[in-house]
Structure 1
């Protein structure tokens, strides 16, 4: 009798994958996963019109009191009713967070906007989303007759590999506020999770009609194309089936919604931006319906077929003479209005994909030309956007037959399923590549031959250089799991100070000298208690940084007292 049949379990792993457009959760029981890693279960969601899927729209609906009313398909259905139009409707908020990450430092005060432009704290929205998934899982298990205690679950939350450390910590904070204990939560990087699943599953399920073997020594590029972002990295299978990252994760905002943006730009070209803004504001439900229809066409389009897209009557009405506007635009002959349907020529519809596909192909080409890619045999396409025939054809046309393009069955679920396996064995990723150069802010004796005069300060009658960047890790370094990088020793600058601030900075260059250089950014700080002040300035603190996991850890040793302190940096606080 299996653990599930007994009605109670000893250990379980549950993963939540939040995509820009679609989300889901999966789970597995440790004793079963250890015997057969494919024993990962996904919940099947039911949507409008009899839709059944293993993911649901990433949509949060809040009432006037900003309480969660619905998530996913239910949120879409409720918002389509006139009585709920004053509710707060959030979708694609993951991409809003990514936009903030690129532009400025992410803090706890970050905001996201609902469909009508009303702002709310991003942390609240993500917390609502995590809590919904968590509670739904419990109800699902109860329906199966399985009783699960919170402390017996290992939770995994996925994030894009190109997200920075504050963003990962932000997601962890949302999970904690949703009731998931810190000690039970692991952060998985999306392309890594997908890679783990594809390495594990039987080859006959990996690629139809192809023989694929991920044996020791196999090198492959992982192309994780989601709704919002594209994450790309290169992996090698090493001893005991573990994975080694060969090239640091990179990518950009080239996901599926960039195709939606190209379609919206075409509509703006035809009817003007003001009218599109009015349509979004005054006919919000119809605006959402238009792009839901477009999403379905994106996923189902067949080669050389024209696309017939249903257009809400409200859009036709507010445009007035939409057919004439099309005729006067650059889309004359390639788009045609037929009552409430828009016929789009196949070549024009494919052109909405062109800028995105070109960016992805160009980035993959650059990676494959680097020395890190020597010996790569496969391109592994995963993520929901990888199910698009247009993107698949673009990759195959650019890289076959030199590289074998592998598209797993249900490519959109590989991240979710792999996240469960990562939760069961986080050490499967044995080595990662440093995405940035990391260092600690410090001071040293001032040397006029080396240091800038503007950095000179006087402390205890001694000239010192301030704001020095003490490098611990260089961009591109190999970072092995549970192995500390570059232990360094620091001393206080005041004899009577009772704590030492360890401030971590990152840089895009490997030769950064000062933490206030333009290429350098503050990440976070950590205080090491030094209550025993005997020894004055001679008190030493040895600092070790561990980067091999998905999150940075710091381990400090106060040499005099032998006191050890381990923690994580606080990345969401502003620079002091």
Structure 2
């Protein structure tokens, strides 16, 4: 059984989405679970339960417990509705704002039941990955590993104690106060943890011997991604009526959630806040939620019939759903920066959590803080495995091939359709290949020269691809990590100027750095995906 003591499991029990990852100290690889009930390829699943009619047994959990694809026939009234957002009952928020639970169900039971399902999923996943047979049927598997559960910064000691109690009842640990369970909000620099229900912030400094010191009080509020979903539902009520949505919620909650999930997938996540990028989204009620038609008033039905039961979501409609939530997050970040001002500048900001995927949220944070004296170096997507002890890792095996976009002269044999202005062509220039073993902070660089003789600025676009090489930055699989823009002075020198570009890989981050010959530099930090 000694092999189990080398396992580190991190469980991210979120308000709307949850996930887990693990690592074995014998290997530097961090493995994130991406297989859930009815879903494959996603790093998290919904924090949702569905019980039997007596609220005793869990019939489904995760995505299958929440969303139901509409059928041609109207659903019968459901006797069992999904239970969601129950984690909010741990937060220090007014009782009237906490989500309603079915009569007879207490939030501690919901948390315990969900963690029980998660426990079985963790055990199965780790055992399969480690290719170890279960030889000790009477031994608690989770008690043999070190389990780290992330908790919001604003949780009280009582809330943390409740998490531990529920983890014990769920079988994650064999005794309630077992040291095999660690609750952690540990972060490095400023972490903005944008979950579904809560947003948590903390700022720490790096001390000697790879220790972290907290330099501000942790802060947080209830302004996560589900609050955008709530604004979408308000929008629907304005279009089809309060009563129609309320009846849909009451009798066909699965179809309502299917419509919300379609909005999230096709509108919420892609929304950038740039009007030029936006295309009016047509919400086809007959396709995504046909049962809604029976609840709409006659007056509204006449209008919707004329529109073929299509509701248009315009740019300003979607922006109005985001702005109250994003504005609250911006104010939280400002407060955290002001609280840490006496300790110096904030070197880096990390966005983590499900809502951090929002391109609009990322753009607004860059707009508000990217160019100010706080010197926010980067905004990145975090990983569920942040709590793992990373200081023992000295090398990494790269999962991606990394490179930059260059614009050399178009030459005979190059595709004619790729020829751009000034007789150039945009190509992918590889810096390091997938599968390469790199030391922590090892650098890969290039000396670069102007594409145009009187060029006054340089734009360095950084890409990654799962392939071992690439030709063009727009080919399938290429993903743009970010862009650095730097002055290119002394245009009178023409092509006799150079830039130094460097990409390095830290324990948790990729750092891109570009410097001109006058010493001016720009840099950015990106999440290193495992």
Find 1:103's aligned residue among 73, 76, 94.
94
Deviation at 1:325, TM superposition (A): 9.0
Within the alignment, does 1:283 sit opposite 2:252 as a pair? yes
Name the CA distance, whole Å, in 2 between partners of 1:277 and 1:252.
27
Within the alignment, does 1:12 sit opposite 2:7 as a pair? yes
Name the CA distance, whole Å, in 2 between partners of 1:423 and 1:340.
57
1:252 to 1:326, Cα distance in 2 relative to 1, 3 A: farther
Residue 15 of structure 1 contacts residue 27 of structure 1 at CA under 8 Å; is this kept in 2? yes
Deviation at 1:187, TM superposition (A): 3.8
1:407 to 1:368, Cα distance in 2 relative to 1, 3 A: closer
Name the CA distance, whole Å, in 1 between partners of 2:69 and 2:100.
16
Residue 293 of structure 1 contacts residue 309 of structure 1 at CA under 8 Å; is this kept in 2? no
Find 1:309's aligned residue among 283, 294, 313.
283
Matches within 5 A, 1:200-349: 220-296=189-265, 297-302=267-272, 303-304=274-275, 305=278, 306-311=280-285, 312-320=289-297, 338-349=307-318
Within the alignment, does 1:135 sit opposite 2:109 as a pair? no
Residue 221 of structure 1 contacts residue 379 of structure 1 at CA under 8 Å; is this kept in 2? yes
Name the CA distance, whole Å, in 1 between partners of 2:5 and 2:259.
47
Name the CA distance, whole Å, in 1 between partners of 2:392 and 2:198.
26
1:400 to 1:103, Cα distance in 2 relative to 1, 3 A: same
Deviation at 1:132, TM superposition (A): 0.8
Q: What secondary structure, in the 3-state scheme, does the structure 2 residue paired with 1:53 have?
A: coil
Deviation at 1:375, TM superposition (A): 2.0
**Partner of residue 388, structure 2:** 420
1:84 to 1:70, Cα distance in 2 relative to 1, 3 A: farther
Residue 348 of structure 2 contacts residue 376 of structure 2 at CA under 8 Å; is this kept in 1? yes
Residue 87 of structure 2 contacts residue 107 of structure 2 at CA under 8 Å; is this kept in 1? no
Find 1:401's aligned residue among 344, 351, 371.
371
Deviation at 1:93, TM superposition (A): 1.5
RMSD of Structure 2 on Structure 1 (CA): 3.3
Please give the TM-score of this superposition, normalised by the length of structure 1. Answer: 0.58
Residue 210 of structure 2 contacts residue 391 of structure 2 at CA under 8 Å; is this kept in 1? no
Deviations along 1:505-537, whole A, 9 cap, x unmatched? Answer: xxxxxxxxxxxxxxxxxxxxxxxxxxxxxxxxx
Name the CA distance, whole Å, in 2 between partners of 1:77 and 1:20.
16
**Partner of residue 124, structure 1:** 109
Name the CA distance, whole Å, in 2 between partners of 1:134 and 1:298.
31
Deviation at 1:310, TM superposition (A): 4.3
1:156 to 1:289, Cα distance in 2 relative to 1, 3 A: same
1:301 to 1:112, Cα distance in 2 relative to 1, 3 A: closer
1:309 to 1:52, Cα distance in 2 relative to 1, 3 A: farther
Deviations along 1:332-374, whole A, 9 cap, x unmatched? Answer: xxxx995354321112201111111111112222332333452
Paired residues, number = 367
1:83 to 1:270, Cα distance in 2 relative to 1, 3 A: closer
Deviations along 1:249-274, whole A, 9 cap, x unmatched? Answer: 11201111111122222233344433
Residue 68 of structure 2 contacts residue 258 of structure 2 at CA under 8 Å; is this kept in 1? no
Within the alignment, does 1:352 sit opposite 2:321 as a pair? yes
Name the CA distance, whole Å, in 1 between partners of 2:48 and 2:350.
29
Q: What secondary structure, in the 3-state scheme, does the structure 1 residue paired with 2:196 have?
A: coil
Name the CA distance, whole Å, in 1 between partners of 2:118 and 2:391.
17
**Partner of residue 144, structure 2:** 152
Unmatched runs of 5 consecutive residues or more in structure 1: 106-110, 197-219, 328-335, 426-576
Name the CA distance, whole Å, in 2 between partners of 1:171 and 1:47.
24
Residue 234 of structure 1 contacts residue 246 of structure 1 at CA under 8 Å; is this kept in 2? yes
Residue 34 of structure 2 contacts residue 40 of structure 2 at CA under 8 Å; is this kept in 1? no
Matches within 5 A, 1:484-563: none
Unmatched runs of 5 consecutive residues or more in structure 2: 394-530
Residue 50 of structure 2 contacts residue 59 of structure 2 at CA under 8 Å; is this kept in 1? yes
1:298 to 1:405, Cα distance in 2 relative to 1, 3 A: farther
Deviations along 1:516-575, whole A, 9 cap, x unmatched? Answer: xxxxxxxxxxxxxxxxxxxxxxxxxxxxxxxxxxxxxxxxxxxxxxxxxxxxxxxxxxxx
Name the CA distance, whole Å, in 2 between partners of 1:383 and 1:104.
25
Within the alignment, does 1:41 sit opposite 2:36 as a pair? no
**Partner of residue 87, structure 2:** 94
Name the CA distance, whole Å, in 2 between partners of 1:392 and 1:337.
38
Within the alignment, does 1:383 sit opposite 2:353 as a pair? yes
Within the alignment, does 1:164 sit opposite 2:156 as a pair? yes
1:73 to 1:188, Cα distance in 2 relative to 1, 3 A: same
Within the alignment, does 1:24 sit opposite 2:19 as a pair? yes
1:167 to 1:326, Cα distance in 2 relative to 1, 3 A: farther
Find 1:85's aligned residue among 61, 78, 84.
78
Q: What secondary structure, in the 3-state scheme, does the structure 2 residue paired with 1:247 have?
A: coil
Name the CA distance, whole Å, in 2 between partners of 1:80 and 1:129.
26
Q: What secondary structure, in the 3-state scheme, does the structure 1 residue paired with 2:82 have?
A: strand
Name the CA distance, whole Å, in 2 between partners of 1:308 and 1:118.
38
Name the CA distance, whole Å, in 1 between partners of 2:258 and 2:367.
33
Residue 270 of structure 1 contacts residue 326 of structure 1 at CA under 8 Å; is this kept in 2? no
Deviations along 1:196-223, whole A, 9 cap, x unmatched? Answer: 5xxxxxxxxxxxxxxxxxxxxxxx3221
1:91 to 1:405, Cα distance in 2 relative to 1, 3 A: farther
Deviation at 1:129, TM superposition (A): 0.9
Q: What secondary structure, in the 3-state scheme, does the structure 2 residue paired with 1:160 have?
A: coil
